[in-house]
Structure 1
Amino acid sequence: MSMNNGLAQLEKNLQHELSLLEIPAKDWVKPRYVGDAQLHDVVVIGAGMAGLTVAAALKFLGIKSLLLDRSPEGFEGPWATTARMETLRSPKQLTGPALGIPSLTFRAWYVAQFGQEAWDVLDKIPRLQWMDYLRWYRKVTAPDIRNNHQVLDVELHEDNYLVLTVQYQQTVQKILARRLILATGRDGLGGAALPAFVNDIPRQYWAHSSDVFDYSTLKNKKVAVIGAGASAMDSAATALEEGAASVEMLIRRKDIPRINKGKGAGSPGLVHGYADLPDEWKWHFRHYINKAQVPPPKGSTLRVSQHPNAFFNLDCAIEKLETTTNQQLAIHTSKGVFTVDFLFLATGFKIDWSLRPEYARIAPLVRTWGDRFTAPEGEDDKELSACPDLGKSFEFQAKAGVVAPVLSNVYCFSYPAVASHGTVSGDIPAISDGARAIAQGIASSLFKEDVDSYYTQLQAYADPELDGDEWQAALPPSQRTS
């Protein structure tokens, strides 16, 4: 079977499966207007994996959504832009964004094109192939997406809706929404976490591992990478493969983490039970994983260490950076001075609303975990403290003393939801569970908001099941003839 025929048959199978489940539901949400402008039921910022999945989950429940993404079509998310791993880290068999539909899985998409034998020998999913799958997912779920649209501002309107200021090319427009979902990825409420020691170093000497960067410019250059996580290994390997003269891995820890503790608790119990745990248990779980840190994948590490010009410097704390007279960078560490041409900071991300000016109106209102929860002794955690304290449907909640009822119409479906809901809003394993939970919460809130009109609709319903001629009224027993 050819590739095209295989996909065509798969798409027929998908439509059949959806029809068996009566998906999608019919449109039911009452349209609302502000003047002549119709309010969108849901606007989603971000059309990467999380945005696509939650849009499909909403569609399956009969709720329309509009997705806005600043990237060109087919390049949403990190997969074909800033990600540099050769393969995904998740096991190939995870169903990811399929929302329980067999023909919507990566496995079905792959087998339809390359066959069962190819699937059986596949180890991990190639990164760019995952992006191709998401492009197909977009095609078959058919969300309403506007690419190259940059959100500049979000206003909470006192009449219980949101006003988005959006730029497309040279045009700025207003988009009105009843509900807003932030599906903006790992750095969704902030950006790169940059250590203070780079503040005075010109940008020509360094980049964050998540930056768009042309690694071919590193040919014959001496490179250093700060960090030992997956992104550090990916940046180091890419530099080496592009002909870097050497790569120094500068690792503060005395050893690289060996065990992925997150795998030790992975189960449907954690996925569905985490959100209902007492705050103390949520904190224990997430802080323990944060403290242990996630080791880089074995394959990613071997991808670096196979190069003889890669050097792993452990117990190597950074003391200061300075530029040299011959346009290099001197990195002073506890292990000595490293002189390089370029430095990558694989230092992760942080929640920092100041890096997201489009949310400037929202940021001062949002309650964080640090606002209301005191960490247990010995478990201080800046990342968890900065996470928004979300409601049961991923909605933002206002700080104590702040009156902002419209804030609960804004939902966080990006990484910072982790403290409140666990890893169901960005990672492949449980992305469908998170998407269904937020979609069901929005369905509930939209219904409650217009419950009077739905009750009126109930009363006005007059489509008869019976015409009245299906039976004949019986006479009393005394009047019947035998």
Structure 2
Amino acid sequence: MSDLSTFPNSLEALEARLRQDLAWLELPAKSWVPPRLVDGQGVVDIVIIGAGMAGLVASAMLKRLGVANHVVLDKAPAGSEGPWVTFARMRTLRSPKQLTGPAMGLPALTFRAYYEALHGRNAWIALDRAPRQTWMDYLVWYRRVLDLPVRNGVTVEAIRPRADGLLDIVCRHDGRTETAIARHVVLATGRDGLGGPFVPPIADDVDRKFWAHTADEIDFAALRGKRVGVVGAGASAMDNAATALEAGAARLDLFVRRTDLPRINKFTGIGSQGVVHGFAGLPDDWKWRFLDYAMRSQTPPPRPSVLRVSAFPQAHLHLASPINRLQKEGDHIVVTTPKGSYPVDFLIFGTGFKVDLTNRPELGPVASHIRLWRDRFPVPADMRNDELETSPDLGDAFEFLEAEPGACPALARIHCFNFPATLSHGKLTGDIPAISEGADRLARGIVRALFVADRERHFADLQAFDTPELLGDEWADDETTTLSDLSAERTSTRNA
């Protein structure tokens, strides 16, 4: 039986263990990519946009493979990257606590190791799921302990292909515009990384002061004593409904199109390393079949999230209630469904996200060239699916492909490591369970591309390498031995 006293019982001890593990594994690998200069300006090998979980593990994996010359840019202040302390409003993560997530196969880098080092083994055993803020704290620690090159407060305004095959990354920082030159770009931009929140057109003519999307900043304190409506039955809809109720909403109406809440998480039921590594190898029609079926089945909200809402007597669930009409009446709006009309002071849409390249100004110079699945896949008539049809069609390293071959070669150096990559690669880019495997696939693909592109330089280095293994004094040639001597030696041996 293991002696628990040997396990790290503080962050200091855990970090020492991690340093030892990395040393034993000879990680990170030595830097090997030849540096480049363009007009006196250094070229960055990879710019990663987004320092949330996906961006951090992508950076860690590139560093692990010896690509030291990269940078991670995020518009948020340090400690606020990703959704965890902004528009994520659940109490705890939805994933089981034991999932290793971005740890890259290193036990000392797991959330469990971090949590036990801080709180002890018994606290881990008692923990149900990771509290949202604690997970953010873990990612902050992850960034620090791996010394990842993150720059905060930087907004990427444009990715522009250059005539020399490189990319200009136009950024805004502290009120100034600056341009970096990069060889590759990774879009680690999360759930809405190629578009934005989806809100049904029925809200187009309603004053914005009356509604928000779950991804928006919402002043929940202002909803105290108000009538609040929420549209949707997913986890975010439930979490926002609960947050409004906990802030003191007088009444909460949850409107759901379906006749019942989804109850079974289909993809979780078949989760395995086969799915993680095998999905990308499926024929296109099977990829489509898997995801279309899972999306039509829908992912249920976690049971604790539903109980968090239903615990309030002023919360009302309306099934089979799609919104037919939204109308302003005085200082509120009226939501009309097939079952009736409901006055609300504020409406929150938990209606997910959409791919809309026109909504991403940084992709403006290349967006029209990006190939989507609908551009080349014959969608089955009985499986029409807007979200899948607008998904980007990606290469082996998550790189964009051209809608018209030869029209924008730079797309091969822009990698889509965010949620819309799911149809091409499976669930490797947006969720905790397989994020390390996704980052490994991404990083290895970029490493391959960098080495191939620099083959002449590497071949020249091969030719120039002249450090000898043998110094010449290991074993001397017997210069006095002649053929006649050898013949006499053989004759003597036979006679003996």
Match of 1:328 in 2: 332
The residue that corresponds to 1:87 in the other structure is: 92
Correspondence 1:139-178 to 2 at 5 A? 139-178=144-183
Q: Which amino acid aligns with 1:450?
A: D
1:350 matches 2:350? no
Q: How does 1:438-453 map to 2 (within 5 A)?
A: 438-453=442-457
1:228 aligned onto 2:233: yes
Deviates more, 1:471-480 or 1:377-386: 471-480
Which amino acid is the alignment partner of residue 193 of structure 1?
F
2:13 matched to 1:36?
A: no
Gaps of 5+ in 2: 490-496
Residue 104 (1) aligns with residue 109 (2): yes
Alpha-carbon distance between aligned partners in 2 of 1:426 and 1:273, rounded to the nearest angstrom: 17
Report the AA paired with residue 166 of structure 2.
Answer: Y
Amino acid at match of 1:420: S
Which residue number corresponds to residue 418 of structure 1? 422
Say if 2:195 is the partner of 1:190.
yes
CA contact (8 A) 2:325 2:337 kept: yes
**Structure 1 contact 158–406 (Cα < 8 Å) conserved:** no
TM-score by length of 2: 0.95
Partner of 2:381: helix, strand, or coil?
A: coil
Q: Which residue of 2 aligns with 1:280?
A: 285
SS at match of 2:124: helix
Q: Could you tell me how far apart the structure 2 residues matched to 1:402 and 1:363 are?
A: 15
Q: Output the amino acid matched with 1:42.
A: I
- SS of corresponding position for 1:378: helix
Structure 1 outlier segments of 4+, above 4 Å? none
Distance 1:352 1:438 in 2: 23
Give the superposition deviation at 1:479.
3.3
The residue that corresponds to 1:459 in the other structure is 463
Specify the alignment match of 1:22 in structure 2.
26
Matched-pair contact (CA < 8 Å) for 1:351–1:387:
yes
Q: Which of 32, 50, 57 does residue 53 from structure 1 map onto?
A: 57
Distance 2:395 2:482 in 1: 61
The CA RMSD over aligned residues, in Å, is 1.4
Amino acid at match of 1:301: V
| Percentage of matched positions with identical amino acids | 48
Matched, 1:114 2:128: no
Contact kept, 8 Å, 1:230 with 1:300, in 2: the verdict is: yes
Deviation at 1:163, TM superposition (A): 0.2
- CA offsets 1:305-326 (integer angstroms, 9 cap, x no match): 011110000011111111112x
User: Displacement, 1:376?
Assistant: 2.1
| Residue 254 of structure 1, CA deviation | 0.5
Q: Does 1:359 align with 2:363?
A: yes
2:58, 2:439 within 8 Å by CA — same for their partners in 1? yes
1:393 to 390, 397, 410: 397
Q: In 2, Cα distance between the equivalents of 1:469 and 1:402?
A: 57
Residues of 2 paired with 1:253 and 1:399: CA distance?
36
Give the superposition deviation at 1:17: 0.6
Aligned equivalents of 1:245 and 1:279: distance in 2? Answer: 49
TM-score, length basis structure 1: 0.98
**1:376 aligned to which of 367, 375, 380:** 380
The CA distance in 2 between the partners of 1:476 and 1:132, in whole Å, is 77
Post-superposition offset of 1:214: 1.9
Q: Distance in 1 between matches of 2:419 and 2:370?
A: 16
Q: Distance in 2 between matches of 1:61 and 1:360?
A: 31
What is aligned with 1:209?
Answer: 214
**Which structure has the larger Rg?**
2
Residue 158 of structure 1 and its aligned partner are, at CA, apart by 2.1
1:229–1:294 Cα contact (<8 Å) kept: yes
Query: In 2, distance between residues paired with 1:477 and 1:8?
Result: 71
Q: Of 12, 15, 18, which aligns to 1:8?
A: 12
Count of paired positions = 480
SS for the counterpart of 2:365 is coil
Shift in Å, 1:401: 4.6
- State the Cα deviation string for residues 189-218 of structure 1 (Å, max 9, x = none): 000001111111111111101111121111
Task: Give me the whole-angstrom Cα distance separating, in 2, the residues matched to 1:402 and 1:62.
Answer: 31
Aligned 8 A contact 1:365 1:402 in 2: no
Q: Secondary structure at the match of 1:39?
A: strand
